[in-house]
A and B are shown apart, each in its own frame.
Chain A
Amino acid sequence: MASDESLPTLKILMIGPSGAGKSALLIRYCDDQFDSESSTATIGVDFKMKKLSVHGKAYRLNLLDTAGQERFRTLSNSYYRGAHGVILVYDISNRESFQAMERWFEEAESNAMPGAIRYLVGSKLDKTNSRTVQTEEGQRLADVHGCGFCEVSSKTRENVRKPFVEIVDSIVRDPKLLSASSRRGGTVNVGAGAGEGWGTGCPC
């Protein structure tokens, strides 16, 4: 584990409307689990760690979920601090979720650090029968914003690794973005080993 700690850490956020499948994608990708019964809003998914190698180099992904704060669009700007990448998720069987993406792009634009990589994902690819958003529409929206795009199914596992591999690939190609490491020099590690009391180490 000690070697994992020393890997470069990339912070990647999931955003998008409630019920778009953000947590399902995260849990399928990280834990290879899928709960078809779960249609309830997210409680308890904070963040996930995942090791990923791109071009033979390993990275530690720190993947953050919205914790339900997307429901009334109350994600805090502190959520976006230091994020290298933002994955925007909509549901291909829910047109409204696709129409909401423009506002999510705007929010990412105004809150994420300049140059952060964005990636658009259409989820629930298994629901092709009830599809209301065509692949071409998703691709067109991604092209407008100059970002990557794919459709995934967390249920069937189809493409679930793709968004993560591709966004990490884009991040690591940008040395400037990569150097904006999430934990920078000069910060203190609060809570690591309580300081010794004063009796012994008198400052005077």
Chain B
Amino acid sequence: MDEIAPEYDVVVLGTGLTECVLSGVLSVKGKKVLHIDRNDHYGGEAASVNIEALFKKYGNYNKGEEPWKKYGRVNDWNIDLVPKLLMSSGELTNILVSTDVTRYLEFRQVAGSYVQQYSGAKAAVAKVPSDAGEALRSSLMGIFEKRRMKSFIEWIGTFNEEDSASHKGLNINTCTMKDVYDKFGLETGTRDFIGHAMALYQTDDYLTEKGRAPEAIERIRLYGNSVSRYGKSPYIYPLYGLGELPQGFARLSAIYGGTYMLNTNIDEIIYEGSKAVGIKATMQDRGGEEPMKFTTKAKKILADPSYFPGKVQVTGHVLKAICILNHPLAGTDNSDSCQLIIPQSQVGRNHDIYIAVVSSAHSVCPKGYYIAIVSTIAETTANHHLELAPGFERLGKIEEKFMGPPIPLYEPLESGVNDNIFISKSYDATSHFETTTDDVKDIYRRAEGHELVVEGLREGTNLVGDDN
């Protein structure tokens, strides 16, 4: 019992990426953090699991069978539950660098970013150009369109929201992105791949909503900056899977004094009036020892949505199928990894279909295998398999397919200011972590009352041991 303090500045529930980044940042800033997960492993919904755990999670095998045995060493598999990649110039990368969590992780580039044009028998997969040479060879545009695209991209590079001289005569804060495309005379197909494969919008809402042009321009610029960082594609990916990310931030938190408990159930939240002031919890399975019950005070509680089902609402559902392949995707130049986006307009949908592929090059599976995750936002209440079908068509022969019911997306009903409980959002359907880091900053602002400054996070903090 003396190992658990009577009071913490922050108790964090759930070890997903959002929670671990916050736990790490708050510990660095000198807060006393207790971080708890009910599971026996880190990562929650953002964990990477081995193939035996994946079969058991989805239960798609007959009793008595052990289908994972034909896939080699079980621990050679690290299969993500959330299909996301890191933008190499994105905010998560910035946070990793400013906290030195990059010390614990190794990253590899994702080999390419692809987009589908047309559908059915006519469907064609093309690389989203990453440099001038690729743009000139690209099948995505005709020769005149390539010139228009070039002047558009050059303009994006020089655009400055504060300087109206760079706005091409448009009233940038009130016009639509459609107006911007019109200005450059870009064709529908080009708008489609810019908006969906570069700005990474999942619907076409951004096109016609007034005032969203600066955001769209910023997203295209993030894509471009990310591509130019390492070439090939805008994405990087951690060796051994995304589950390494929360673990890296958990270590950061621990180094700065954060206390970690897994396998621990929350029995009760203690309130004083409307405000949460502490927790009662039980740590289970201690290697034959008795479960340990404890109570501690907390000035604040941070949690993922699963810890407070009554304080969150469902905002949508994600459809997701994890597929094991023994070949790369057709049309992707035998890439060891890629993202393939099927824009909604190409297949008669309202939301894009994403395919994220990683392989043994990222130490997530044995040699010869590929892990492809097909995902989209649900548009129907049935026929979920059919909604993902255009994605499955791109995969060719599938060795194993893991697909559960639609996954609800949660967000908190309240900011947390009234009850001291600050709840994160679910990992959404976007292909990267930009919305996750937005959520981290939002929670930090709600809980701490000021903005999180990412730059120089660890400067001026004293460590006993250091890199010398």
A binding-site residues for B, Cβ under 8 Å:
18, 26-27, 30, 42-49, 65, 67-69, 71-74, 76-79, 81, 103, 110, 183-184, 186-188, 190-191, 194-204
Most central of A47, A77, A204 by chain B CB within 10 Å: A204
Q: Residue B66 at the A interface, CB < 8 A?
A: no
Q: Is chain A's interface secondary structure helix, strand, loop, or mixed overall? A: loop
Query: Which residues on the A side are within 8 Å of B269 (C-beta)?
Result: none
Give A119 to B467 CA distance when docked, in angstroms. Answer: 24
Q: Residue B131 at the A interface, CB < 8 A?
A: yes
Instruction: Assess whether B150 is in contact with A202, with CB atoms less than 8 Å apart.
Output: yes
Query: Which residues on the A side are within 8 Å of B105 (C-beta)?
Result: 78
Knowing A44-B463, A79-B251, A186-B108, the reply to whether A199 touches B157 (Cβ < 8 A) is: yes
Query: Which residues on the B side are within 8 Å of A49 (C-beta)?
Result: 467-468
Instruction: Assess whether A43 is in contact with B257, with CB atoms less than 8 Å apart.
Output: yes
18 A-B Cβ contacts within 8 A?
A: A27-B464, A43-B257, A44-B462, A44-B465, A46-B465, A46-B466, A49-B468, A69-B254, A72-B261, A74-B250, A76-B250, A76-B251, A78-B251, A79-B104, A79-B251, A191-B93, A198-B228, A204-B132
Give A27 to B221 CA distance when docked, in angstroms. Answer: 46
Instruction: Assess whether A190 is in contact with B107, with CB atoms less than 8 Å apart.
Output: yes
Query: Which residues on the A side are within 8 Å of B257 (C-beta)?
Result: 43-44, 68
Instruction: Assess whether A188 is in contact with B230, with CB atoms less than 8 Å apart.
Output: yes
Query: Which residues on the B side are within 8 Å of A188 (C-beta)?
Result: 88, 107-109, 230, 236
Q: Which residue from B41, B236, B465 sits with its C-beta under 8 Å from A65?
A: B465
Instruction: Assess whether A201 is in contact with B287, with CB atoms less than 8 Å apart.
Output: no
Give A74 to B15 CA distance when docked, in angstroms. Answer: 12
Q: Which residue from A77, A110, A197 sits with its C-beta under 8 Å from B247?
A: A77
Write out, one digit per residue, whether chain B residues 101-144 have a CB within 8 A of any chain A CB (1) or not (0). Answer: 01111111100000000000000000001111011000000000
Instruction: Assess whether B225 is in contact with A48, with CB atoms less than 8 Å apart.
Output: no
The smallest C-beta distance from A198 to any residue of chain B, in angstroms, reads: 4
Most central of B130, B132, B260 by chain A CB within 10 Å: B260
Give A145 to B381 CA distance when docked, in angstroms. Answer: 56
Query: Which residues on the A side are within 8 Å of B463 (C-beta)?
Result: 44-46
> Which B residues from 204 to 255 make CB contacts under 8 A with A?
221, 224-230, 236, 239-240, 243-244, 247-248, 250-251, 254-255
Query: Which residues on the A side are within 8 Å of B380 (C-beta)?
Result: none
The smallest C-beta distance from A7 to any residue of chain B, in angstroms, reads: 15
Instruction: Assess whether A190 is in contact with B96, with CB atoms less than 8 Å apart.
Output: yes
Query: Which residues on the B side are within 8 Å of A43 (C-beta)?
Result: 255-257, 464
The 5 closest A-B pairs by CB, nearest first: A199-B157, A195-B229, A191-B97, A198-B224, A76-B247
Query: Which residues on the A side are within 8 Å of B157 (C-beta)?
Result: 197-200, 202
Extra 12 A-B pairs, beta carbons < 8 Å, given A44-B255, A203-B129: A45-B463, A46-B103, A46-B255, A72-B283, A77-B247, A79-B247, A188-B108, A199-B158, A200-B157, A202-B157, A203-B135, A203-B228
Query: Which residues on the B side are within 8 Å of A81 (C-beta)?
Result: 239-240, 244
Query: Which residues on the A side are within 8 Å of B225 (C-beta)?
Result: 195, 197-198
Query: Which residues on the A side are within 8 Å of B109 (C-beta)?
Result: 188
Query: Which residues on the B side are within 8 Å of A69 (C-beta)?
Result: 250-251, 254, 260
Knowing A68-B257, A191-B97, A198-B224, the reply to whether A184 touches B106 (Cβ < 8 A) is: yes
Give A32 to B157 CA distance when docked, in angstroms. Answer: 54
Q: Which residue from A78, A110, A202 sits with its C-beta under 8 Å from B132?
A: A202
Instruction: Assess whether B230 is in contact with A195, with CB atoms less than 8 Å apart.
Output: yes
Q: Residue B154 at the A interface, CB < 8 A?
A: yes
Instruction: Assess whether A204 is in contact with B254, with CB atoms less than 8 Å apart.
Output: no
Give A187 to B96 CA distance when docked, in angstroms. Answer: 16
Instruction: Assess whether A187 is in contact with B108, with CB atoms less than 8 Å apart.
Output: yes
Residue of B nearest to A113 (CB): B75
Q: Residue B454 at the A interface, CB < 8 A?
A: no
Query: Which residues on the A side are within 8 Å of B89 (C-beta)?
Result: 194-195
Instruction: Assess whether A203 is in contact with B462, with CB atoms less than 8 Å apart.
Output: no
Q: Residue B149 at the A interface, CB < 8 A?
A: yes
The smallest C-beta distance from B233 to any residue of chain A, in angstroms, reads: 11
Q: Residue B42 at the A interface, CB < 8 A?
A: yes
> Which B residues from 238 to 290 make CB contacts under 8 A with A?
239-240, 243-244, 247-248, 250-251, 254-257, 259-262, 283, 286-287
Give A200 to B221 CA distance when docked, in angstroms. Answer: 12
Give A191 to B454 CA distance when docked, in angstroms. Answer: 14
Q: Residue B361 at the A interface, CB < 8 A?
A: yes
Give A77 to B109 CA distance when docked, in angstroms. Answer: 23
Instruction: Assess whether B256 is in contact with A44, with CB atoms less than 8 Å apart.
Output: yes
Knowing A46-B465, A203-B153, the reply to whether A78 touches B102 (Cβ < 8 A) is: no
Q: Residue B327 at the A interface, CB < 8 A?
A: no
Give A30 to B283 CA distance when docked, in angstroms. Answer: 36
Write out, one digit per residue, whether chain B residues 45-88 have a CB within 8 A of any chain A CB (1) or not (0). Answer: 00000000000000000000000000000010000000000001
Instruction: Assess whether B464 is in contact with A190, with CB atoms less than 8 Å apart.
Output: no
Residue of A nearest to B43 (CB): A76
